[in-house]
Amino acid sequence: MEYYKPNDGNKIYLTQFSIIIEDQFIYLPYSVASLWASAEKNKIVSRNELKHIFFYREPIDNIIKKFDNPTLVGFSNYIWNENYNDILASKIKEKYPNCLIVYGGPQVPDDQIEWYNNRKFIDVCVHQEGEITFSQILKNKKFKDIDGITYNTGKEWIKTSPSKRIKNLDNIPSPYLLGIFDKLVRPKNLTLNAIFEFDRGCPYQCTFCDWGGTIFSKIEKINLDRIYKEIEWAGKNKIDMFYSANANFGIFKKRDEDIVNKLIETNKKYSYPKSFDTSWAKNSNKFIVSLAKKLHDVSLLRKYGVSFQSLNSTVLQNIKRTNLKINDFSGVIELTKQYQMNIMVELIVGLPGETLNSWIDNYSKLMENDNLCIESYPCTLLNNSELTKFINKYNIKYKKVKLENTEIPEYAKQIVSTDTITSNEMTKVWQWTWCARLGHTLGITNEIVKFLFNKGYSVKEFYNNWFDFIANSKGILNKKFNKWNVHLTSYNFQKYIFEYDYLNDIGRYKRNETLIDLKVFLETYYKQENIDILVNLFDAYHYTPEYNYPRTINNITVTHHGMGSIKNYSSFIGLNRKNKGWQCGIVLP
Ligand code: B12
Ligand code: SF4
- Is residue 283 pLDDT above 80, yes or no? no
Rounded percentage of the chain residues whose pLDDT exceeds 90: 79
**Does the CB atom of residue 319 touch ligand 2 within 6 A?**
no
For the stretch 526-561, pLDDT in tens is 999 999 999 999 999 999 999 999 999 888 899 999
Least confident of 29-33, 310-314, 523-527, 557-561: 310-314
Kindly give the distance from the C-alpha atom of residue 556 to the centroid of ligand 1, in angstroms, as a whole number. 47
DSSP assignment string, 312-354: -HHHHHHTT-TT---TTHHHHHHHHHHTT--EEEEEEET-TT-
For the stretch 40-65, pLDDT in tens is 887 776 677 899 999 999 999 999 99
CA angle 223, 226, 228 (to 5 degrees): 105
Choosing from 171, 197, 228, the residue where a domain stops is 171
467 with 318, same domain: the answer is yes
For residue 152, the SS3 value is strand
Kindly give the distance from the C-alpha atom of residue 379 to the centroid of ligand 2, in angstroms, as a whole number. 14
CATH number at 54 reads: 3.40.50.280
- Ligand 1 atom with the smallest distance to the CA of 166 is 53
- Say how many domains are in the chain: 2
**Residue 271 within a domain:** no
For residue 354, CA distances in Å to 374, 381, 417, 425, 491 come to 17, 16, 10, 11, 20
- Is residue 215 pLDDT above 70, yes or no? no
309 with 167, same domain: the answer is no
Choosing from 140, 171, 202, the residue where a domain stops is 171
Kindly give the distance from the C-alpha atom of residue 479 to the centroid of ligand 1, in angstroms, as a whole number. 38
CA distance 327 to 309: 15
**Residue 196 within a domain:** no
Nearest to 350 by CA among 384, 322, 323, 312: 312
pLDDT of residue 62: 95
**Residue 285 within a domain:** no
**Residue 295 within a domain:** no
The residues pairing with 372 across neighbouring beta strands, listed in sequence order, are: 343
17 with 160, same domain: the answer is yes
**Does the CB atom of residue 508 touch ligand 2 within 6 A?**
no
For residue 241, the SS3 value is strand
**Residue 121 within a domain:** yes
Nearest protein CA to atom 4 of ligand 2, as residue: 206
**Does the CB atom of residue 105 touch ligand 1 within 6 A?**
yes
Please name which ligand lies nearest the alpha carbon of 214. 2
- Ligand 2 atom with the smallest distance to the CA of 321 is 4
Kindly give the distance from the C-alpha atom of residue 47 to the centroid of ligand 2, in angstroms, as a whole number. 40
**Residue 538 within a domain:** yes
**Is residue 158 very low, low, confident or very high in pLDDT (cuts 50, 70, 90)?**
very high
Average pLDDT over residues 354-369: 96
Least confident of 155-159, 217-221, 374-378: 217-221
**Is residue 83 very low, low, confident or very high in pLDDT (cuts 50, 70, 90)?**
very high
Average pLDDT over residues 474-503: 93
Nearest protein CA to atom 7 of ligand 2, as residue: 247
**Does the CB atom of residue 73 touch ligand 2 within 6 A?**
no
Domain residues for 356? 303-586
* Of 337 and 283, the one with more pLDDT: 337
CA-based end-to-end distance of the chain? 78
Least confident of 3-17, 391-405, 487-501: 3-17
**Does the CB atom of residue 209 touch ligand 1 within 6 A?**
yes
DSSP annotation of 421: B
Kindly give the distance from the C-alpha atom of residue 322 to the centroid of ligand 1, in angstroms, as a whole number. 24
> What are the two backbone dihedrals, phi and then psi, of residue 554, each rounded to the nearest 5 degrees?
50, 35
Residues 195 and 243 sit within 8 Å (Cβ to Cβ): yes
pTM: 0.94
**Residue 560 within a domain:** yes
**Does the CB atom of residue 404 touch ligand 1 within 6 A?**
yes
**Residue 372 within a domain:** yes
**Is residue 320 very low, low, confident or very high in pLDDT (cuts 50, 70, 90)?**
confident
Nearest protein CA to atom 2 of ligand 2, as residue: 247
Average pLDDT over residues 279-294: 89
**Does the CB atom of residue 102 touch ligand 1 within 6 A?**
yes
Choosing from 107, 137, 171, the residue where a domain stops is 171
Nearest protein CA to atom 64 of ligand 1, as residue: 79
CA distance 391 to 15: 33
